Amino acid sequence: MTDLFSLAGKKALITGAARGLGRAMAEALHEAGAAVAVMDVLDGMERAAAEMGRQGPPVHAFRADLGDRGQIRSAFGLAVKALGGLDILVNNAGMHVRKSVLDHRDEDWDRIVAVNMTAPFLLAQLAAPIMLAQGSGKILNVASMLAFFGGVNGSSYAATKGAVAQLTKSMSNEWTGRGICVNAIAPGYLDTDLNKSMADDFRRTVLMRLPKGHFAKPEELKGVVTFLCSPASDYISGAVIPVDGGYSAR
């Protein structure tokens, strides 16, 4: 049974892995046996990669602004070369601007669309030919429960995460019959830097509705990520799985 969840010998690329949820996801894949390449623009990425790579398979770091298509293409090529191939792509990187629709600036909208929606599309477009040629692969996108609800003061974030959910389904329709499983997780409220700007009164309101009673720690998503990137999920594709402590069921 344990072999079903093993990623030994696999090669994985994950974006936004310098800290928080992305770091935990990269650790999960590495702990399951995969060689990992992390792609991020934040300081600390190289340190995170070095810490993860002290034991087990190698971990590589590649700096790229995921709002820049040229940097994405360049870093992707370097990552695949360093890994010696690609079996798993995790599109995790994301941005959020907490502003009302009327207060959104053009640059807010354009930046979030580029990082949250265009980058996952482009990276999947780059990864798929490799995976199709070998007849296997896993693409895991990170949506959000705001893909279902819309949220408040986060129109660009909700719109792009809704798009990620639909991209997941569209890619699955095109590639699953040719060996690539494409899925997404929709995380709920997490104790990450992205949520530090949340107002205290709103945080209390969320906790009152949250059956688990606490915001998730990034490590609590390791299991579902490993599952969706492993042979254990080979018959799952096109799914958008809430990982929200029961929030969406209330």
Active site residues: 157
Q: How far apart are CA 250 and CA 247, in angstroms?
A: 6
CB atoms inside a 10 Å sphere around CB 231: 15
CB 184 within 8 A of CB 240: yes
Q: How far apart are CA 103 and CA 188, in angstroms?
A: 25
Q: How far apart are CA 167 and CA 159, in angstroms?
A: 12
Output the DSSP codes for 51-107.
HHTTSSS-EEEEE--TT-HHHHHHHHHHHHHHHTS-SEEEE-------B-TTT--HH
Which pair of tokens denotes residue 207?
Answer: 């906790």
